[in-house]
Amino acid sequence: MAFSSAADLDRAWDLGVFYLKTPDELNLEDPRDFGRSLLAADSPYRAITQYGELEGFIALENNQQTKLALRRHHWDLHYPQHIAEFGRCLDSFGIAIIREVLHQSGIPENLWGRASAGYATGAGTAFLNFVHYDTHVSAWGLRPHTDYGFVTILDAIAPGLQVEIDGAFQDVPVLPGHFVINFGEALRFITAYSARPVGAVTHRVVGQKATDPVRHGIVYFANPDLDGALWQFDANGDSGGNSSVQKLFAMLEKNLTEDIHENRMG
Ligand SMILES: [Fe+2]
C-alpha cells in the first residue's frame, strides 16, 4: 500500500477514507455479475437462511439498501466457490490495511491480535455483502452513518456515495480500477490512545431514482469477533481501556435505522 505523498497518507488516516488501486489480476466482473443476479425475483439467495439480524437477504428499514450479507464462516456454505474465494482475497487486503494502520500506530505488534479481537492476526470475522438500492422505497439510499468495523472495502460502479469532510457532504466519484476504503468505529476506538489515531468517516448514499441505473455494490467489512472485546493500547503497550464489541454494534445499528437527529455518534 503506497500513498503519493506523506500528506495524502495523513489526510486519509485523519478522515478515514481513501481510494485503493485494485490489482490488475483481481477479477471483479464475476463478483459483480453475481451481485446483479440477486436482482432477479426468483434468485434463490432471496430465500437464504437468516442468521440473526445481520446475515441473510436483508432490506434495511428506512433505507433503499437491500443486501445479501454473510459472515466469513458462512461463505463456503452459501456462496458459490469463486465468491467465497473472492472474499478470502478481500480478507488479505483487509488484514494488510489494518496491519499498516497498527504499524503506524506504534502499538507493539504482539498486541495487535488482542487489540482487534483477532482480526489483525487472521481471526476475527468479516462480512462479504452484495448490495443494491431499491427505488420502490422512497428514502435515503443509505442514511448517514459511520461503519462499526475496522476497515470497509467498497466496489461501487455507480455514483451516490458521499462522505462528510469538514462538516459538509461531498461526492465520492467512481474511480474505475479503485476500491473506496473507509475506516470504522472499531479502528478509531483501538487507535485512540496510540501514536497515530485514525478517523472513522461519516458517509451516506443519496436516494436513487427509478430512472437511475440500478446501483450495485460489493462491500467487505473487516470486523472483530462479535463476542470479543476491543482493547486500546498506547505505543508503550499500556492499555487505555476496552469495550465489548456487542455494545458498539448495537449503538451503530440503531443509528442507521432510527431517526438520526439525536443519536448520531460523534
Ligand atoms: Fe457504511
CB-CB neighbours of 106 under 10 Å: 15
How many A from CA of 110 to the centre of ligand 1? Answer: 30
Q: Is the pLDDT of residue 149 over 80?
A: yes
How many A from CA of 219 to the centre of ligand 1? Answer: 9
User: pTM for the full model?
Assistant: 0.92
How many A from CA of 238 to the centre of ligand 1? Answer: 31
How many A from CA of 204 to the centre of ligand 1? Answer: 7
Residue 23, exposed/middle/buried by CB under 10 A (0-12, 13-18, 19+)? exposed
CA distances from 210 to 166, 214, 232, 234 (A): 31, 8, 45, 49
How many A from CA of 147 to the centre of ligand 1? Answer: 5
How many A from CA of 172 to the centre of ligand 1? Answer: 13
> What DSSP line would sit under 74-90, residue for residue?
HHHHHS-HHHHHHHHHH
In a domain, 59, yes or no: yes
In a domain, 62, yes or no: yes
Beta partners for 165?
168
Give pLDDT, residue 259.
52
Counted domains in the chain: 1
Angle at Cα 57 formed by Cα 51 and Cα 59, nearest 5°?
Answer: 115
Give pLDDT, residue 117.
95
17-21 β-sheet, strand order:
17-21, 178-183, 151-156, 216-223, 125-133, 65-71, 56-59
Among residues of the chain, what percentage have pLDDT more than 90?
A: 72
In a domain, 17, yes or no: yes
How many A from CA of 202 to the centre of ligand 1? Answer: 8
Q: How far, in whole angstroms, is CA 231 from its chain's centroid?
A: 20
In a domain, 89, yes or no: yes
Q: Is the pLDDT of residue 214 over 50?
A: yes
CATH label of the domain that carries residue 168 = 2.60.120.330
Give pLDDT, residue 29.
96
CB-CB neighbours of 225 under 10 Å: 15
In a domain, 1, yes or no: no
Which residues form the domain of 204?
Answer: 6-265
CA dist., res. 39 & res. 127, Å (int): 20
- Report pLDDT digits (tens) over 153-209: 999 888 899 999 999 999 999 999 999 999 999 999 999 999 999 999 999 998 888
CA dist., res. 72 & res. 68, Å (int): 13
How many A from CA of 236 to the centre of ligand 1? Answer: 32
How many A from CA of 256 to the centre of ligand 1? Answer: 9
How many A from CA of 222 to the centre of ligand 1? Answer: 12
How many A from CA of 170 to the centre of ligand 1? Answer: 15
| β pairing state of 239-244 and 229-233 | antiparallel
Residue 137: pLDDT band with limits 50, 70, 90: confident
CA dist., res. 12 & res. 251, Å (int): 25
Average confidence score pLDDT of the chain: 91
